[in-house]
Amino acid sequence: MIFISFKAFAQVAFIILSFVLIIKTFVNFIVAYYKQRNSKQVDIVERYQIERLRPLVFIKLFANCLTVAFFPQYLLKLTINSHMPASFSAIVYTVYQVFFIIMLIPGGYFGEVKSIKKILIITTLIESVLLAGFALSSNIWEILLLQALFGCMIPISSSAEYAYILRFTHEKNRSFGFALYSNSLKASAIAGIAIGGILVGHLGAQAVFLVSSIVMFFAFLYVIGVIPRISLTDSPLMQARRGAVSFRFVLKELPKIFRNFTFVKTIFCVGFPLGLLNDGIILFSFPLLLSHYHFSSATIGQLLVLATLGFFLSNKFISKRADKYNSKRKTIVFGLLGIGLGLLLIASFKMPFIEHYQRWHLDIFMFVIGLILLGVFRGFIVAPSTAYISENPVTQTIGKNVTLSVYRLFQTLGSVVGPIMIMFLLIKLHYSLLSYVILAGLFVLAAVGTGFGFGLKGQASGYG
């Protein structure tokens, strides 16, 4: 195959790309630091504060993504060795997402009322310890427990990161602020997935987990040394700290937010499909599918990076235009339709009429184009939808961070349902690519649902 033929070249290229992304992240931070020293402009100061966070985001997700290229197969192997049915590996995989869901609302509340820096210090240190636990464990039940604990930590730490961005960005620049944040996530994913796929072939899975733990510890040191202590000076947060807005009050108000039609449409038609796409389709099903067709872990990692590269190319540019023209809803609809198109191309990967031209590697070409399109059109959705939710009137009662947590909860539901649903489809259809035709139809329906019933000029006020 074309990627295996140039395996050594591809590995060197991805290693170079990874180091370029790492260096670029820190260079952006240094440049922003010197710019804000000599300027009082709000946009420049805002940009510096976001750039201050981005290296931390990069290091943390880089550590987590080192295991992406082999983790589903690793779980499947441990499951079989434990004499459990193969489908149990999907359950172990999604335990992380279940506990992620459980902790999302508490995590959002902590981001509203607790010290952001303290949250990041505690969660990053615990994540480092848990990754070391993965390195030392070879029993599927121990892995299940570690997945649950890791799922508790991530929503708390990510809510603190969201709170940081909300604190330092104005509404007119919020899509762009989240786009910069998302770019850091995707840049680190490119580096982590590519390098992890290479490392596992040389070191083995447990050694890669240990490397990941060490990298996460460096993130812990970065939080201590660089992330500022943010004073909760605005009145809603101060009221919350004094108990005027308690966690019990937030839970009591939560059911009322589902009276807001715009909010409900967004969480079901955008949040849920996004979780299904990222965790269910790209990170879970593609490694299993490609492994079924005898691709190596290194090659799988390189292919998965293409989806991330596509996102990286579109996210920043599209988000800035969505802010400039106030066209977040239209941008989201185009993104969902484009994802449907990408999945149709993936579905043609091993179709007979494509395999007829195998000597020209048309099958690989279709898969690669489909992956890139998934990434590009995901870039139409992630930051604009997050900014769109943060502008919804329901934030006036329960806070922006808690509102975002509810949105992320439905996104995570997609992440939970995705691997189980897709594993069921792949097994029942004997790894037939018809599964991806069905998924493409779901995204087209989501685009129709997103476009239907939304006002073009803003959001309805209040809960009604």
Express each pLDDT in 99-156 by its tens digit: 988 888 888 888 777 788 999 999 999 999 999 999 998 888 899 999 999 999 998 9
CA angle 103–106–109, rounded 5-degree value: 145
Q: Residue 350's pLDDT is what?
A: 63
User: 2-451 — its CATH code?
Assistant: 1.20.1250.20
Q: Residue 450's pLDDT is what?
A: 85
Instruction: Write out the two tokens for 169.
Output: 């960005």
Q: Residue 216's pLDDT is what?
A: 96
CA angle 58–61–64, rounded 5-degree value: 150
Q: Residue 252's pLDDT is what?
A: 77
Task: Give the residue extent of every domain in the chain.
Answer: 2-451
**Residue 74 pLDDT greater than 70, yes or no:** yes
116 against 363, higher pLDDT: 116
Query: Taking a C-beta distance cutoff of 8 angstroms, is the pair 157, 119 a contact?
Result: yes
Instruction: Write out the two tokens for 136.
Output: 């030392």
Q: Residue 120's pLDDT is what?
A: 94
Confidence of residue 431 (pLDDT cuts 50, 70, 90): confident
Instruction: Give 352-361 contacts, CB < 8 A, sequence gap 24+.
Output: 361/1, 361/2
**Residues 282-305 pLDDT 10s:** 888 888 888 877 777 777 877 877
**Residues 154-191 pLDDT 10s:** 989 998 998 888 888 777 777 778 888 888 887 888 78
371 against 325, higher pLDDT: 371
Q: Residue 242's pLDDT is what?
A: 45
Q: Residue 260's pLDDT is what?
A: 82
Instruction: Tell me how far apart the alpha carbons of residues 340 and 441 are, in angstroms, rounded to a whole number.
Output: 7
**Residue 233 pLDDT greater than 80, yes or no:** no
The answer, as to whether pTM is greater than 0.85, is: no
**Residues 259-290 pLDDT 10s:** 888 888 889 999 999 989 988 888 888 888 88
Instruction: Tell me how far apart the alpha carbons of residues 11 and 118 are, in angstroms, rounded to a whole number.
Output: 38
Tell me how far CA of residue 174 lies from CA of 7, 21, 119, 322, in angstroms: 41, 23, 23, 10
Instruction: Write out the two tokens for 330.
Output: 């239209």
**Residues 380-422 pLDDT 10s:** 998 888 888 888 787 777 777 788 888 888 888 888 788 888 8
Tell me how far CA of residue 31 lies from CA of 17, 34, 49, 55, 338, in angstroms: 21, 5, 12, 13, 35
Q: Residue 387's pLDDT is what?
A: 82
Q: Residue 361's pLDDT is what?
A: 62
Mean pLDDT of the chain: 81
**Residues 33-69 pLDDT 10s:** 888 887 777 677 778 888 899 999 999 999 999 988 7
Q: Average of pLDDT values for 345-359?
A: 64
